Amino acid sequence: MTTTVATREPDTEASGVDLAAPVREARARLEPPTVSVPAPRSAAGVVAPPAMASSEDAPSAELLAEVDDLTTALEAVEAAGEDEPAHRVLCRIAQLVADGVPDAGWSAEHGIDVEVLRATSDAARGLQERTAKLLARLDTEERPGPAAAIAPLTTTLQVVVVVADLELFERARR
């Protein structure tokens, strides 16, 4: 029996990471598209008043703003240019962990400064805390669909923090 193992090298040209996608999906799940239903008619042809949808299931404006703010923050990280090396490294780590935890010393091989790693860890920790807070709120408000979209992002950001911190420890050890 022979097997073929495919290996995938990270694409260094494009970020390949869409951190904001789960938050956009959660937003879409919070406000699903409205469907127009014609008013029912009785046997005599009289139009019965349409049933009014309950607004108690609608998300609060504050919740929607929190989701939108997180989306904006994640999109800013993804669009980071030369002036934000910590954000670029954050995306690079997220890309690397998609294939498994990188070997110790990877940041030195890529020429990443220790201060940039520290800033990356701090940025990822801040985003992870915001995402975890939003996830907890969605759970509290019993919104399982949006929460399910956000949960993997929370884990991804937590792994990014751990990888950045481990790399800092490795660099300090050397």
**Confidence band (pLDDT; 50, 70, 90) for 1?**
very low
* pLDDT value at 18 more than 70: yes
* pLDDT value at 124 more than 60: yes
In a domain, 159, yes or no: yes
**Confidence band (pLDDT; 50, 70, 90) for 110?**
confident
Quick one: pLDDT at residue 89? 93
pTM here?
A: 0.77
pLDDT digits (tens, 9 = 90+) for 45-81: 666 555 555 556 788 999 999 999 999 999 999 998 8
User: What's the CA angle centered on 153, arms 147 and 156, to 5 degrees?
Assistant: 145
* pLDDT value at 82 more than 90: no
What is the C-alpha to C-alpha distance for residues 71 and 26, in angstroms, rounded to an integer? Answer: 10
**How many helical (H) and strand (E) elements, i.e. helices and strands, does the chain have?**
6, 0
In a domain, 46, yes or no: no
In a domain, 132, yes or no: yes
Chain-centre distance for alpha carbon 124 = 11
User: What's the CA angle centered on 164, arms 161 and 148, to 5 degrees?
Assistant: 30
In a domain, 34, yes or no: no
Domain count, the chain: 1
In a domain, 130, yes or no: yes
In a domain, 16, yes or no: no
Which residue type does 143 have? R
What lies within 8 Å, CB to CB, of 23 at 6+ separation is 67, 70, 71, 74, 131, 149, 150, 153
In a domain, 42, yes or no: no
What is the C-alpha to C-alpha distance for residues 23 and 25, in angstroms, rounded to an integer? Answer: 5
Give all strands (DSSP E) within the chain, no chain letters: none
* pLDDT value at 12 more than 50: no
The residue segments making up the domain with residue 74 are 60-173
Number of other CB atoms surrounding residue 160 within 10 Å: 28
In a domain, 30, yes or no: no
